[in-house]
Structure 1
Amino acid sequence: MKKIINHADNVVKEMLEGYISAYSRYYRKHPDVNGVLLRQKRRGKVALVIGGGSGHEPMFSGFVGKGLADAAACGNVFASPDPNTIYETAKAVEDGQGVLFVYGCYAGDNLNFDMGEEMLRDEGIETAHVRVRDDVASAPPDRVEDRRGIAGDVFVVKTAGAACDAGLSLEEATRITKKARDNTKSIGVATAPAQLPGVEKPIFELGENEIEYGMGLHGERGVLRTKWQPADVLAEKMYGQIKEDTALKAGDEVCVLVNGLGATTITELAIVYRKVKELLDKDKIRVYDADLNNYCTSQEMGGFSITLFQLDEELKQYYDMPCYSPYYAKGELTESSREIKEECEEKYQEETCSADSVSQDTEEPCVSREKKGPLTELTAEDAREMLIYIADKVRAKKSYLTEIDSAIGDGDHGIGMAGGMKKAKERLQQMKGEQNVYAVFEAAGKAMLMSMGGASGVIFGSLYLAGAKDMEEKGVLTPEDLAKMERKSLAAIQERGKAEVGDKTMVDALTPAVEALEANCDKGLLEMLRAAEEAAGQGVEDTKKYVAKFGRAKSLMERAIGYQDAGAASVWLIFQGMREYVEG
């Protein structure tokens, strides 16, 4: 697919540069991270910070504005922002009254925003969050906390922005926002796939006469693949499923959003709304306001979603408050839509993509080291060179990991891993001469954690970081030390992510690998790593048997069986890289 870009690695950077430049009278960019900041926010109020993966424009950056969000933390395409981006963006707009975060309920966003909040609270800044979970197709009502956020973000962010601008306390603004979230229900359908910049294949495939019912905003598979149906049939089925999930009755009032996923015209959205309005009239449910637009998109995905936002008098008060951004406005515009003239101009510098960026699979990296023969222990320099080798190895497998993830996820795992490993390598290259072996692992983990975004950033950053953190300085790592370190990392990953063996995650490969390390550490470093590599490989194979309990494959249920987990494959590659380096 032809995309109007320069280089896939620079899409988010260049998109934000253009966006901020075009709307500089409203926005400025955070000088250090991918955060969009409102220039003239109200002072002395709760700061509203939204965010998520890029590629959904105008959500999230386009919903920063008067009466809306004060800032947006922007991740890579279809990947959550990393904790540092979230922390720095929020800190830039916090004004002594605390920060309210609003974002979609996805594993990566949940993990990274949680860590961003922890960092803020460590500095005495009060925080709260509301996770949007409006997609009724993604989980049943008794598992509402597992539902993902799609176009319902629009109504929740609108309400949250009004509540914060009204001067409510953090506690009260959070209550109002949660009420809006709980009164918002959506469902979507896809008619054509999206394609991530720089990826050769679409994130899923549909036959000529097929549609995906219940499709997620990132291209996650829906609950049913079925034959194409006319607009009225689809609208009636979708409306019926939303209504079944709510307590809507005659006399109630709703706002309606028919949202395009990127490649759907207003003509088509209007045809869908025509049928939805007919059904609401039949049920004597009043439409308080309606909107047809492409607000929460998925690159050029074909299809649409329907959202109903049930109002009461309290919610109506906040919905009616005026707001303005270049892409979304309600109420009286007057001052908020007026061009703001400012004398100052700010220049922002961002790190440019280095020449060694990996845009496609390359040959396996060669092991290069001074010592001959298998290693029996790891010095700090050995560990540094080993992790650089692993970084090159994983980056060389970007397309392989992307293809695995595209089968049941959103196809961004390879891109995220390659980006995180690139940052880890850059940091490790600065550490030549380091004497503490744990410091090497810790630095690589931090570099991944702060750069990758998505669930992978937290999880794979912790794989290196958690086991080495707070360890007593040591110059040499024995097989027993490595086994203990990886056990500690596994415990931290499971504590944060809550995954167990059988949940179709990277834990399915990491757990047997750690057990193999412990069982074979008395046989020497090489034999121990051979056993761990083999166990991790079997763990990857085992994921094909499991129903996913986490991540974007979760809503597929039995349809995920037969596919391997991309995170588990990355774990196997890491242990394979360790073995290859130690063996020489």
Structure 2
Amino acid sequence: MSTKKILNKDVSNVVEESLTGYLMAYKKYYKKIGEYNAFQYRGHRKDKVALVIGGGSGHEPLFTGYCGAGLADAVACGNICASPNPELIMMAAKAVDQGKGVLFVYGNYAGDNLNFDMAEEMCRAEGMKTAHVREWDDFASAPKERITDRRGIAGDVYTIKIAGAACDAGLDLDEVVRITEKARDNTNTIGLATSPGTLPGNDKPTFEIADDEMEFGMGLHGEPGIERTKMMPCCDMVERMYNELMAEMGLKSGDEIAVLVNGLGSTPLLELNLVYYELYKRMHRDGLKVYDAEVKTYCTCMEMGGFSITFLKLDDELKKYYDAPCYSPYYAKGSFSGVVEDASSDADEEEPEFDETDVEPAVITRSKDGVLEELNAEDTRNMLLYIADKIIANKPYLTEVDSAIGDGDHGIGMAGGMQKAKKKLLKMQGEENAYHLFETAGQAMLMSMGGASGVIFGSLYLAGAKGMDPKGTITAEDLARMEKKSLDAIQERGGAQVGDKTMVDALAPAVDALEANSGKGLLEMLKAAEEAARCGMEDTKKYVAKFGRAKSLLERAIGHQDAGATSVYLIFQGMREFVEGAID
């Protein structure tokens, strides 16, 4: 039986979209780093060694959940089960570097090692001091004599926690590395898998295991473990894993340890607590002192079944850093005040969303009077600014249209997205790549609007321009080609077709008109596209909605115009007006 997953049709952007959701939810704590899948903690302490963590996505809350007060300063997020690239890692480091050095902590996997090593070389070439600590707590993955071949799994949590505390204590880079390596070298984990996870876009799971089987020591991605056996009672599972940990670490009566019982993705808390119950009985019997224990989900592989047990052997030095308070939405210890104390004073603070009082139109210029036969980069920037002002001015109209059959928020969302795009574009005077202007505006809309409109209307600009070779001038043919790419991406992402009462009803005929008339010049082409979009918008009055809130209205939606199609019409009208010079 295949696993049902909650994904969009196009999974190619699942990491970026998921990360965007996370950062929107916790925006008072975090700020995205440029256009990279990386973010930083807004309130990170200054004048200290910076801690950057990261790795493949799909293991949440590792790594995103361990950035915050007393934890990591920044996180670099790779694709699903894949390392982040060197540029992404370097940009994360540059964002939080205080001149005291940057420590990278990550799991000991070949891809991570290669990419983080290259990132360190790039950082050092720019004058930054760097060091790294690779986590290798999974002792089932290699014998002691090959400890550097061991994988990093849930033990990352303890290593990151102590590294963050050492950084915040003001220690120099060498001392932070020493403390972090000491934590890493006193941490061991063993896991047990009962069922696989399935990666987004894959039909098959990461590994196969029979319904009545389990495997001791299996890695997060399905790497072989110690032994595959038939399912057994919880007490027997814990007995085997506890004995392996005791033998590996040489623990004896009186030793103090911190204990982490971690769910791998789908194991419920009821079962994880049962694991700890069985584990505690054995630790108590053998005289181990449990300094602290936590039972939760810390390091996963999608919906993988099973759990892991991590021991951290403590001494007085490690206790000091272990006990230091920390806070993130997914991991906290002690009392930590002022976890967002620096957010309001951040010079790079993200601009607020749309403000109804902030509607001063931009000063629009054109490269010449009369009709424009093509759009140079500055014309492109001004055209996009003109369209943004046009949408902002039509906010009440779009709200009225949407209120009839929708949530009434389309005007607010479109105006907010265009306001954000406008702010970005106003800073791009002198940009020479016309496609980059479309990309920037689309990305700003995508990141600020939220909901389906953010993705769809952000893609209207972004998807068509992304990946295009830099170009200083856009012709009619270029614009037609770009909008066809955007339409394809929007339909692939959302699945809407003409007749579904969405923005596609206006965009699809407009794109057809662009392609059919691109040889007639920019103005004639845009006139045809504007009229096609208008007709498509009018046609939505005849349709029953297939998407959104209006879908539940069935035939009652007939007679009402779709708000998204209306926005598309206004955008093409704005393009035509700018090219024609009818902008007064």
Taking structure 2 as the reference length, the TM-score comes to 0.59
Q: CA deviation at 1:334?
A: 3.2
- What is the one-letter code of the residue matched to 1:142? E
Structure 2 counterpart of 1:8, from 6, 11, 20: 11
Do structure 1's residue 190 and structure 2's residue 190 form an aligned pair? no
Q: Assess, with a 3 A threshold, how the Cα gap between structure 1 residues 117 and 338 changes in structure 2: closer, same or farther.
A: closer
Do structure 1's residue 302 and structure 2's residue 291 form an aligned pair? no
Structure 1 counterpart of 2:314, from 311, 316, 330: 311
Structure 1 counterpart of 2:268, from 261, 265, 269: 265
Distance (whole Å) between structure 1 residues aligned to residue 214 and residue 224 of structure 2: 10
Stretches of structure 2 lacking an aligned partner (at least 5 in a row): 354-462, 472-584
Distance (whole Å) between structure 2 residues aligned to residue 166 and residue 333 of structure 1: 14
Distance (whole Å) between structure 2 residues aligned to residue 248 and residue 41 of structure 1: 37
Q: CA deviation at 1:33?
A: 1.2
Structure 2 counterpart of 1:128, from 128, 131, 137: 131
Q: CA deviation at 1:337?
A: 7.7
Deviation by residue 1:165-216 (Cα, 9 ceiling, x = unmatched): 0000000000000000000000001111100001111111111101121111
Do structure 1's residue 211 and structure 2's residue 187 form an aligned pair? no
Q: CA deviation at 1:250?
A: 1.1
Match of 2:51 in 1: 48
Match of 1:417 in 2: none
Q: Does structure 1 retain, via aligned residues, the 8 Å contact 2:51–2:167?
A: yes
Deviating runs (4+, > 3 A) in structure 1?
Answer: 337-348, 426-431
- What is the one-letter code of the residue matched to 2:293? A
Q: CA deviation at 1:345?
A: 3.3
Distance (whole Å) between structure 1 residues aligned to residue 271 and residue 91 of structure 2: 40
Structure 1 counterpart of 2:152, from 116, 140, 149: 149
Q: CA deviation at 1:283?
A: 1.3
Between the aligned residues of both structures, percent identity stands at 57
Q: Does structure 1 retain, via aligned residues, the 8 Å contact 2:66–2:328?
A: yes
- State the secondary structure of the residue aligned to 2:91: helix
Structure 1 counterpart of 2:118, from 107, 115, 118: 115
Match of 2:229 in 1: 226
Deviation by residue 1:329-369 (Cα, 9 ceiling, x = unmatched): 00113333899668953489xxxxxxxxxxxxxxxxxxxxx
Q: Does structure 1 retain, via aligned residues, the 8 Å contact 2:42–2:342?
A: no
Match of 1:244 in 2: 247
- What is the one-letter code of the residue matched to 2:350? E
- What is the one-letter code of the residue matched to 2:13? N
Distance (whole Å) between structure 2 residues aligned to residue 263 and residue 251 of structure 1: 34
Structure showing greater radius of gyration is 2
Distance (whole Å) between structure 1 residues aligned to residue 179 and residue 236 of structure 2: 35
Match of 2:181 in 1: 178
Aligned length: 355
Structure 2 counterpart of 1:37, from 40, 48, 51: 40
Distance (whole Å) between structure 1 residues aligned to residue 115 and residue 340 of structure 2: 33
Distance (whole Å) between structure 2 residues aligned to residue 345 and residue 106 of structure 1: 34
Deviation by residue 1:500-544 (Cα, 9 ceiling, x = unmatched): xxxxxxxxxxxxxxxxxxxxxxxxxxxxxxxxxxxxxxxxxxxxx
Q: Does structure 2 retain, via aligned residues, the 8 Å contact 1:324–1:337?
A: no
Q: Does structure 1 retain, via aligned residues, the 8 Å contact 2:42–2:343?
A: no
Q: Does structure 2 retain, via aligned residues, the 8 Å contact 1:56–1:298?
A: yes
Structure 2 counterpart of 1:66, from 69, 79, 90: 69
- What is the one-letter code of the residue matched to 1:279? R
Match of 2:170 in 1: 167
Taking structure 1 as the reference length, the TM-score comes to 0.59
Q: CA deviation at 1:40?
A: 1.2
Q: Assess, with a 3 A threshold, how the Cα gap between structure 1 residues 165 and 213 changes in structure 2: closer, same or farther.
A: same
Distance (whole Å) between structure 2 residues aligned to residue 14 and residue 84 of structure 1: 20
1:350-369 to 2 correspondence within 5 Å? none
Do structure 1's residue 21 and structure 2's residue 21 form an aligned pair? no
Deviation by residue 1:376-433 (Cα, 9 ceiling, x = unmatched): xxxxxxxxxxxxxxxxxxxxxxxxxxxxxxxxxxxxxxxxxxxxxxx9xx979679xx
Q: Does structure 2 retain, via aligned residues, the 8 Å contact 1:13–1:34?
A: yes
Stretches of structure 1 lacking an aligned partner (at least 5 in a row): 349-422, 432-584
Q: Does structure 2 retain, via aligned residues, the 8 Å contact 1:53–1:78?
A: yes
Q: Does structure 2 retain, via aligned residues, the 8 Å contact 1:255–1:289?
A: yes
Match of 1:202 in 2: 205
Q: CA deviation at 1:38?
A: 0.6
- State the secondary structure of the residue aligned to 1:334: coil
- State the secondary structure of the residue aligned to 1:245: helix
Distance (whole Å) between structure 2 residues aligned to residue 78 and residue 17 of structure 1: 18
Do structure 1's residue 277 and structure 2's residue 280 form an aligned pair? yes
Aligned CA-pair RMSD? 2.1
* More displaced stretch, 246-255 vs 20-29: 246-255
- State the secondary structure of the residue aligned to 2:139: coil
Q: CA deviation at 1:31?
A: 1.2
